[in-house]
Chains A and B, each alone.
Chain A
Amino acid sequence: MSAADTIYALASGAAAGAVAVLRLSGPRSAETVRRLAGGLPPPRHASLRRLRAADGETLDHALVLWFPSPASYTGEDAAEFHLHGGRSVIAGVMEALAASGLRQAEPGEFTRRAFLHGKMDLTAAEGIADLIAAETAAQRRQALHQAGGGLTKLYGGWAERLARLLAHQEAAIEFAEDGLPTDLDAKARAGAGELRAEIAAHLADARRGELLREGLVFAIIGAPNAGKSSLLNALVGREAAIVSARAGTTRDIVEARLDLAGIPVTLSDTAGLREASDEIEAEGIKRAERRAEQAQLLITVFAADQPPDAETLRWVRPGALVLTNKCDLQVGPSEIGGMPAMAVSALEGAGLDALRSRLTEAALRLAGAGEGNQLTRPRHRAILTEAAALLADAEAANLLELTAEALRAALFALGRLTGRVSVEEILDIVFRDFCIGK
């Protein structure tokens, strides 16, 4: 790969459709458009052109868009061909591009180029990556917000405030003789406290944004033959797990995806909890328990016609959902382990609607609907946690230069999210805000 590389890719995906969009980016975009379309259309206007191969054969009548640098998605010269969506048309144009020495883009390469050309910062680029990967509506909302610079704006605003606090502290250190206000240090500490509280509130989100991005895990756990697999099948509406009357049919974890109010949820059916009869079952039970530990929501299932078993009772804890299945056979207890139990019948469907709405409520509570400024990545969380700790140091420090030191370190940390703030920018604030100089 060199600077002269020009890349292309089908932007509209592999599935056949009425229209296919082919995108190019790189220094040879203009010459390529000229060769194929017989001239460069006016910038950013859709123009209908005949596309020809090198031997003069017509490939398609297509809409051609030309985006000269830097006002393009990647910041490079770029173009789009909106082709008729037939396979042979697409293949023909792609062949013509390859023959002109262009290279097919690697996954994510357009966005990477946009990032390298400063068209977006890292959090926005992460947002674009999430947007492309988004499966559900809430994920899409969250990714769109981030790609649109929502987080950039929030974090950038914090960095800006922090830079100002540091600048005022630096002024107090460098220019003590210049008749500056005497409360700069106190104000810097107070400002650090306010900022720390805001960042702490942003962090205290129970990982909602990250959970939405990654998806939630709900685990179904219970004794053998309590009807866990039937419940999973009933909830997802297909035979995802094998169901039989034999206890211990499910030995490994069976997963199925649910979309609950736009939140992706992985529903895990697990091996029944009991004294294992063989090595394979023992491993299955170990896996079930591990999955239960990791899950954001536990669905404990008891058979209404059996007394609650001790193995499953261990998992009945605040926040868990308690079900008595097989309510078609017998009315179970209304309370198990001190928690109210919901009666359902996986087989006949009784209580399933109520269960679905309980699961949806839980999903919304855990992951949110993807609105507003949500932390979406562990990278962001680690940096903000560090910055908040440094701001606490700044508040507590007993010398001006130690407050400044902690503020500087916090700004340096935030810089990993928003780009580095240079000393010169700090000095700009000093000289703008104060009359310095004897």
Chain B
Amino acid sequence: MTGADLTFDVAVVGGGHAGCEAAAAAARCGARTLLLTHKIETIGEMSCNPAIGGVGKGHLVREIDALDGIMARAADAAAIHVKTLNLSKGPAVRGPRAQADRRLYREAVQALLRAQPGLTIMAGGAEGLELDQAGCLVAIITGDGQRIRCGAAIITTGTFLRGEIHIGEKRFPAGRIGDAPAIGLALAFERLGLPLARLKTGTPPRLDGRTIDWAALEAQPGDDPPEPLSWLTERITNRQVTCGIAATTPETHAIIRDNLQSSAVYGGRIQGVGPRYCPSIEDKVVRFAERERHQVFLEPEGLDDPTVYPNGISTSLSEVVQERVVASIPGLTRARILRPGYAIEYDHIDPRALTLVLELRQVPRLFLAGQINGTTGYEEAGAQGLMAGINAARRASGAVPEAVFTRSEAYIGVLVDDLTLQGVSEPYRMLTARAEHRLSLRADNAGLRLTERGIGWGCVGADRAGRHRAFAKAVTDALTRAAADGATPAALSSFGITVNDDGRRRSVLEVLALPGVAMERVEAAFPWMRDVAPAIRTQLEAEALYAPYLRRQEVERRLLEREEKAAIAATLDFDSVDGLSAEMRQRLKAARPATLGAASRIQGVTPAALAALAVHLRRDAQRFT
């Protein structure tokens, strides 16, 4: 069937986490947006583990939420087990995490998208791209020949690019179990000469919860009360469930060792590189042979769904061996496998082919977001989708696509900078260790950091914008007051707060930074603190705690700023830079850093190469001034 051409400002291909955020963000920015996906009923599907957030990932979710994205709200609507990780550590490294009811999550995402004005959802697959003579994207062509003209398109096809599933010795093409892969698009990308590479990831077998001996397992309750992911969610209303913790045994490890040949990876049938932080159980047993047990977290996939996700035993062993492995785990001896675990290999585009707004350098108006760029995880995908959505809407409207965060502003900035500059050698996952400005990029202050920027870009609704501005003002006022108000050591000691008796007045912020001072004493000394709302108090405490470190980071940031301002022209021929080795040239050409600062962050670029580049830029600048 070939209908008349359709026309949209922004067309988004793919209904996963990147595609949903992209479509919703583009529509929020005022673009007439199309979301094109194979199956409307699987929009918002969680194809891997049923959880959102964690350390690093939770930071990303809060940032998506700060820009009025949908992931955090959907997760709150579906949350059945919530836990803030690292609660015993400082606020910068606490990671909110929610396990979701898979069906409720899907429904929440679909409801949010249906309620989004300006967004059309259509079933279908993209099979081709149409470019004009200048090489700009003008339309996408669906599998049944429909031509969709658009001002910009965002491809978010996840693992569907020439996806191939491996279960033991079996292998078949698929994007996800039960779904066809996207081969036409992969061919289109290949024809454009885009750099493709292969990665792999995997999932564990799914178990029937009714066949698990829960009484034999350690129970793991969630937090009470559960803390919402979204700033807009007042509280989580779903019934909360308890998870179980099981563990493998030496017998499990023996079974795996004896059957390694049945594993698709160890049998040599997979070449793609898998994520190191999410190894298969085969990997764990081989690489850490001395360990006698590995934990398995049993996570229910829904309130009315018996499916359980055994987090920790991702595998590509054959189905028969998977059954023996599960049966060897105490508590799972009678557990029935509903669906076997599998490894999936897929193509991704080298994200160094993208600019900082996630647009392909060589195909203007074509944006890529999500797993197709070599990342893993819903949160990493959603964050990219959101930024691509905002920028594609700007591109389509004729505005400059310049919605970019720096590394010192947001985890999103770290993510996009890492991808476009370093490329990936394994599926990329966010970790707080990647953020140099970890102490200021907290999950608790995402809104304070980003919402105002989002308002400027037009992706934040009026409700959130109004509430945000009132909150931001209250925080600023409280910080100002806490910095100005204070007391002498003598006055403090009368409230049971001991500091060095040097006669120097301490501000409220300094008092808050003292270890082990009870809040009641602070309130007694400074009665106005009693009226400070908990959310604002959290901000005061974090700022107080990290103040000396934040000052040092600020100095470091200013030092680096000069490098960040030394622009490298997009046309610079790295071959003309004297003193660069062939290897350095190749690294710089692949990453095309926009500034000297970006060049300095490229993995493997030596200080000597930077010196050569700096000399060249300075000489160039002199020539033209």
Contact = CB atoms under 8 A, between A and B. Distances in A.
Given A409-B552, A438-B312, A174 B89 contact: no
B311 A174 contact: no
B578 interface: yes
A178 B545 CA distance: 27
Interface in A119-151: 121-122
A121 B611 CA distance: 12
B288 interface: yes
B93 A401 contact: yes
A20 to B, nearest CB: 28
B581 interface: yes
Of A175, A409, A435, chain B has the most CB atoms within 10 Å of the CB of A435
Interface string B74-93: 00000000000110011011
B341 to A, nearest CB: 14
B110 interface: no
Contact of A177 (B85, B607, B612): B85
B608 to A, nearest CB: 5
Given A3-B579, A437-B277, A437-B279, A426 B433 contact: yes
B577 A400 contact: no
Contacts of B295: 178-179, 438
B576 A173 contact: no
Contacts of A408: 436
Given A116-B612, A402-B549, A423-B434, A435 B294 contact: yes
A122 B276 CA distance: 34
B78 to A, nearest CB: 20
A365 interface: no
A427 B431 CA distance: 10
A268 B284 CA distance: 70
A113 interface: yes
Contacts of A3: 575-580
Of A174, A409, A419, chain B has the most CB atoms within 10 Å of the CB of A174
Contact of A401 (B89, B600, B607): B89
A70 B582 CA distance: 11
Contacts of A400: 89-90, 93
B287 interface: yes
A209 interface: no
B235 interface: no
Contacts, number: 114
Contact of B284 (A174, A175, A437): A437
Contacts of B275: 437
B515 interface: yes
Contact of B606 (A177, A419, A436): A419
A405 B579 contact: no
Interface string B324-349: 00000000000000000000000000
A421 to B, nearest CB: 11
B370 interface: no
Contact of A173 (B55, B552, B579, B609): B55
Interface in B572-613: 575-581, 600, 603-604, 606-609, 611-612
A320 to B, nearest CB: 40
B237 to A, nearest CB: 26
Nearest to A1: B578
Contacts of B114: none
A5 interface: yes
A422 B603 CA distance: 7
Of A409, A423, A430, chain B has the most CB atoms within 10 Å of the CB of A423
Contacts of A115: 608
Contacts of B98: none
Interface residues of A, number: 44
B549 A405 contact: yes
A174 B434 CA distance: 11
A221 B541 CA distance: 61
A118 interface: yes
B297 interface: yes
B277 A435 contact: no
B279 A405 contact: no
B241 interface: no
Nearest to B312: A438
Contacts of B311: 438
A34 interface: no
A431 B433 contact: no
A158 B544 CA distance: 32
Given A176-B85, A177-B85, A420-B607, A435 B284 contact: yes
A402 B436 CA distance: 12
A399 B90 contact: yes
B549 A173 contact: no
A286 B211 CA distance: 95
Nearest to A431: B276
Given A3-B576, A400-B89, A173 B277 contact: no
A424 B579 CA distance: 26
A75 interface: yes
A2 interface: yes
B153 interface: no
Contact of B278 (A118, A423, A426, A437): A437
A173 B577 contact: no
A154 to B, nearest CB: 18
Nearest to A112: B579
B386 interface: no
Given A116-B611, A437-B278, A398 B515 contact: yes
Contacts of B545: 399
Of A170, A176, A412, chain B has the most CB atoms within 10 Å of the CB of A176
Contacts of A87: none
B433 A118 contact: no
A116 B607 CA distance: 9
Nearest to B220: A177
A320 B271 CA distance: 74
B575 to A, nearest CB: 7
Contacts of A177: 85
B199 interface: no
A117 interface: yes
A438 B603 CA distance: 28
A174 B579 contact: no
Contacts of A437: 275-279, 284, 312
B159 interface: no
B432 interface: yes
Nearest to B619: A1
A66 to B, nearest CB: 20
A408 B556 CA distance: 12
Contacts of A179: 295
A435 B288 CA distance: 7
Interface string B298-325: 0000000000000110000000000000
Contacts of B85: 176-177
B581 A117 contact: yes
B432 A174 contact: yes
Contacts of B278: 437-438
B578 A2 contact: yes
Interface of A: 1-3, 5, 70, 75, 113, 115-118, 121-122, 170, 173-179, 398-402, 404-405, 408-409, 412, 419-420, 422-424, 426-427, 430-431, 435-438
19 contacts: A2-B576, A113-B579, A115-B608, A116-B611, A173-B86, A176-B89, A398-B515, A401-B89, A401-B90, A401-B92, A401-B93, A409-B556, A423-B433, A424-B422, A427-B431, A431-B277, A435-B284, A437-B276, A437-B278
Interface of B: 55-56, 85-86, 89-90, 92-93, 275-279, 284, 287-288, 291, 294-297, 311-312, 422, 431-434, 436, 438-439, 515, 545-546, 549, 552, 556, 575-581, 600, 603-604, 606-609, 611-612
Enumerate the 6 nearest inter-chain pairs by beta-carbon distance, A residue then B residue, closest first. A116-B579, A435-B288, A431-B276, A170-B433, A399-B90, A438-B311
Given A116-B579, A174-B432, A438-B295, 8 more contacts: A70-B581, A115-B608, A173-B432, A401-B438, A401-B439, A419-B607, A435-B294, A438-B278
